[in-house]
Chains A and B, each alone.
Chain A
Amino acid sequence: MTTLELPRRWRVPAWGLALLVAIVAELCYFTLTTRQFAGHGTGMLALSEQFAPTGVLAMGLAMVILTGNIDLSCGASASLAAVIAGTILEKGGSPVEAILLAVAVSTLFGLFNGVIVAYVGIDSLLVTLATQFIITSIATSVAGASPPFGFPGAFTLIGQGAVNDVPIALWVFLVIALAIIVTVGHTNVGRSMTLIGYNLRAAQYAGIPIRRTLTAVFTLCGAAAGVAGVLLAAYYNSAQPDIGTDLLLPAITAVILGGMDIFGGRGRIGEVVLAVFLLGYLSQGMLIEGDSSLSITMVTGLVLIGALVLKFAFERNLRQRLTARMQRLRTLSRGARS
C-alpha cells in the first residue's frame, strides 16, 4: 500500500501574486504623480464606484468562461436592465420594484442563452452574438426617444453612496465576488462548471449534469449583468441604452487578465477580482491624469496583450521544465525498480 500525503502547504498562486504586485505598484505610481488620486486616503475607495459594475459583469462572465463558453450579450443585458430600472423609476415605481424587475429580465435572457446553448446545442459564441443584437434593440426601444434619468436618491445611493467610506457599489461587487468564489469552489454547480471546462466529455462520462449546469451558468451571468446594469443606472443617474455595452470589453479583459483560460477550466475567480481592481484603478488613474477614455482602452488592450504574451512564454518554459523533471523522475524510478 502506499502512503499518500495530504497536501499541507497552501501554495501561493503565482499569477495572483503578480497581479497584486502590479496593483500596488500602480497605486503607488498614481498616488505620487496625481494629486487627486489618493484624496485624503479615501479617494481611492471612492474611485471604485466607477468600476464596480464592470467587476460584477466580469464575475458573471468568469463563470461562463470557466465552462469554456462565452457570453457576448451580457453587456447588452446590463444596458437593458439599466433602462428597465430607469423606466420604472421614472414612472414612479419604487427602487425595489425597479431593481427586482430589471434583474429578473436580464436573468431571463440569460436563461434563454443557456437553454439554446445547452439543449439546442449551438455554440455559445454564435448564440450570444445573436442575442446581443436582439437585446440591444430591446434596450434602445424601451429607452425611447429620451432615456430615463434623474432617479430618486434612495436608488442612486446604491451607485454613489458609501458606508463607512466604502462605496455601496464596492460592497455589492465584493459580496457578489465572494458569493461566486464560494459557489465555484464549494458547491456542486461550481464543481460541475470547473470540470466541464476542463474536459466536457469526461464530465459527461462522470455523470455531471452538463445541460443543467450550462443553463445555470448562463442564467447566473444574466443575473450578474442585471445587477451591473442597476449599479450603472444608479451611478450615472441615467440609463442610456448603451450604458452597459461599453463594459463588455473591459469585463472580458479583466477575466482573461485574471488568468482564466479562454478554453475553460483553469483560473481562479479571486485573481479575476484582482484583475478588476488592476484595470479599474488603471483607468481611473489615467482619467484623473487627464487621458481620454479611448486612450485608456488602448492601454488596457496593451496590458492584456503584454500580460498574455508573458504568461504564455512563462508557461511554455514551465511546461518544458516540468516535462524534463518528470522524465528524470521516471528514469530514476525505473532504475530503482529493475
Chain B
Amino acid sequence: MTTAKNIETASPPRQDLRARPRWTWLVRRREILVSAAIVVVVAASTAVHPYFWSSSNIAFIFADSVVIAFLALGESFVMLGRGIDLSVGAIMGLSAIVVGFQIQNHNMTLLPAVLLGALVGIVLGLGNAVLVGVVRLPPIIATLGTLSVYSGLEFVVTNGNQVDTIPSSITNLGSDTVLPGIPVILLLTLPFVLVSALVLRHTRFGRSIYAVGDDAEAAYRAGIGVQRVLFATYAISGLLSGLGGVAFLIYTSGASSTTGVGDNLTAIAAAIIGGTALTGGVGGAVGALVGSVFLTVTLTALSFVHVADVWQPAGVGVLVLLAVVYDSRSRRGSVAWRPRKRQRQRQSQRGTR
C-alpha cells in the first residue's frame, strides 16, 4: 500500500513505548516521594534532637495525624472525582459531639461508638451527596452551604455543653502502643486506608471515580453513571469524616461546639500534598495517609526546633505551595487555571463537517 509519491519523507518510526524498568516507576510515584520526604525530615530532626526518634514521639506523631488522615481520606474520594468537600471538618465535629455524648452520658462502648460515628457521618455526607449528585449544585457552593449548616448544628446539638469525660479505656487507644512507636489508633486507621485503597484501585466503582474526575463527559458516554458516582463519593467522604470524629474523641478525649472548625482546609492540604489533585483523576488513599503523616511530622519537627506553634499554619501553607508548584511543573503543563469550570456545551454552529 503506497501513499502519495511526493509526500515529504516520513519521520523516523517511533520508539515502541514499553514500560520503563520497574524501579523508575516507583520513584515517580508521589506516595513514595512523600514517604521519602518523611524519612528525610525525621532524620534531620533526630540529628538536631535525638529525642525525636523515640518510641513515644513517633507514636505521638502517628496518633496526631490520624484525625486529619480520616478527613483527607474522605476528601480524596471527592477530589478524585473532581469535586471538593468543604464540610469535612464540620461533619467530623458533629460526629465527635454526638458520639461523645453517648459515651459520656450513656456509657456507650467502643464498637457501637464507631458504628454511630460512621452513621452520623454518612447521614451528613448524604446532604452533600444530594446537593451535588441530584440537585447538581456546584460542589464549592453545596459544601459551603452544608459547612454552615453543620457548623451551626454543632452548637445546637451541644446546647452549651461539652464532651469532656471519655473513659480511659477508649482514650488509651490513642496513647497505648502495640509496637514501639505504633499507637493502637494507627492500627485502627490502617484498615480503612487499606480498604479505601483497595476500592479505589481494584473495584470498578473506584476506577469509575478516576474516570469521572478525568473526563466526566467521556465517562458518561462510556456508560458510567456520573451522577451516581459523585453521589457516592460525597457519602463516603461523610462516612470517613464521621469516623474521624470518633478518632478525635479517642485522641483528645473531648469535643465542643467548635470542634473541627479549622480542619476543613487542612484536610484538603493533606490530600494535595499526598498527591491528589483538585482537578481529579490523580491520587489515592495511601497518598492521603502519607500526606497527613508528612504534614504532622513536619509540624512536629518545627516545634522541636523551637518554632512557635503560631507558625504551624504557615508551615501547612508553605508545604501546600511547594506541592502545588511541584505539580504544576511535573504534570501536563501548569495546573489548570480554573479546574472548577463547567464542561462547555458544544455550540451547534461549530463543526459542520
Contacts and interface: CB of A to CB of B under 8 A. Distances in A.
Contacts of B324: 122-123, 126-127, 130
Which range contains the number of A residues in contact with the other chain? 35 or more
Given A134-B313, A297-B151, A300-B148, A263 B321 contact: no
Contacts of B318: 130, 134
Given A123-B335, A200-B338, A305 B321 contact: no
Interface residues of B, number: 52
B316 A125 contact: no
A186 B44 CA distance: 56
B92 to A, nearest CB: 16
Given A131-B317, A252-B144, A301-B147, A141 B338 contact: no
A304 B328 contact: no
Contacts of A136: 313-314
A290 B31 CA distance: 50
B180 to A, nearest CB: 33
Contact of A121 (B153, B268, B335): B335
B340 interface: yes
Interface string A66-98: 001110100000000000000000000000000
B244 to A, nearest CB: 20
A25 interface: no
B317 A301 contact: no
A113 to B, nearest CB: 11
Interface string B307-318: 010111111111
B154 interface: yes
Given A298-B149, A301-B145, A312 B137 contact: yes
Contacts of A200: 337-338
Contacts of B135: 309, 312
Interface string A293-311: 1111111111011001100
B345 to A, nearest CB: 10
Nearest to A246: B261
Interface in A145-200: 200
A237 interface: no
Given A253-B144, A300-B148, A294 B257 contact: yes
Contacts of B141: 256, 262, 304, 308
B167 interface: no
B41 interface: no
B188 interface: no
A271 to B, nearest CB: 16
A132 interface: yes
A138 interface: yes
A52 B268 CA distance: 30
B151 A294 contact: yes
A73 to B, nearest CB: 9
A249 B311 contact: no
Given A123-B339, A134-B314, A300-B152, 16 more contacts: A68-B341, A70-B140, A121-B328, A125-B278, A126-B335, A127-B321, A129-B268, A129-B317, A131-B317, A133-B315, A133-B320, A134-B313, A262-B138, A264-B338, A295-B152, A305-B131
Closest 9 CB pairs of A and B: A298-B152, A301-B148, A133-B317, A294-B155, A137-B314, A301-B149, A134-B317, A305-B145, A121-B334
28 contacts: A121-B334, A125-B278, A127-B321, A129-B265, A130-B316, A133-B320, A134-B317, A137-B313, A141-B311, A253-B144, A253-B145, A262-B141, A264-B338, A294-B257, A297-B149, A297-B152, A298-B152, A298-B153, A298-B155, A301-B146, A301-B147, A301-B152, A302-B148, A304-B145, A305-B149, A308-B137, A308-B141, A309-B135
Interface of A: 68-70, 72, 117, 120-123, 125-127, 129-134, 136-138, 140-141, 200, 249, 252-253, 256, 262-264, 292-302, 304-305, 308-309, 312
